[in-house]
């Protein structure tokens, strides 16, 4: 049986290449719109900057790295490219889940 939280997140990924784990408790995003595998994590605000905290932790920059778009506490997927300082220039971003209450 698929977990409710997992089902809700997968519903936000219709049309993308997503694999559900056999136990229904997790999933993997293989590809977003033909652009590759995104990074997934929660948005965290550190001072004036936003960070993606997940399997890796990386600072987000660019026009999508704005609290109104990528709000702290939200679980998101992000596609982008690294800048010379090691931050991720967010090119595409999608919300998977709102912050936990």
* Structural domains of the chain, ranges and CATH numbers in brackets: 39-97 (2.40.50.430)
CA distances from 61 to 1, 25, 28, 98 (A): 38, 31, 24, 21
- Under the banding of pLDDT at 50, 70 and 90, the label for residue 67 is confident
Tell me the average pLDDT across 4-27: 95
Please report, rounded to a whole number, the percentage of residues in the chain having pLDDT higher than 70.
99
Tell me the average pLDDT across 46-73: 93
Q: Which residue has tokens 């590809």?
A: 31
Burial class (CB in 10 A: 0-12, 13-18, 19+), 29: buried
Please report, rounded to a whole number, the percentage of residues in the chain having pLDDT higher than 90.
89
Q: What pLDDT does residue 101 have?
A: 63
* DSSP character at residue 6: H
């Amino acid at each position: 049986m698929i977990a409710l939280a997992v089902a809700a997140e997968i519903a936000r990924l219709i049309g993308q290449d997503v694999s559900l784990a056999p136990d229904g408790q997790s999933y993997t995003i293989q590809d977003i719109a033909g652009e590759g595998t995104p990074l997934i994590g929660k948005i965290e605000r550190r001072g004036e900057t936003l960070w993606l905290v997940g399997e890796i932790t990386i600072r987000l920059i660019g026009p999508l790295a704005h609290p109104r778009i990528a709000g702290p506490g939200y679980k998101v997927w992000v596609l982008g490219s690294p800048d010379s300082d090691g931050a991720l220039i967010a090119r595409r971003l999608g919300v998977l889940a709102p912050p936990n209450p």
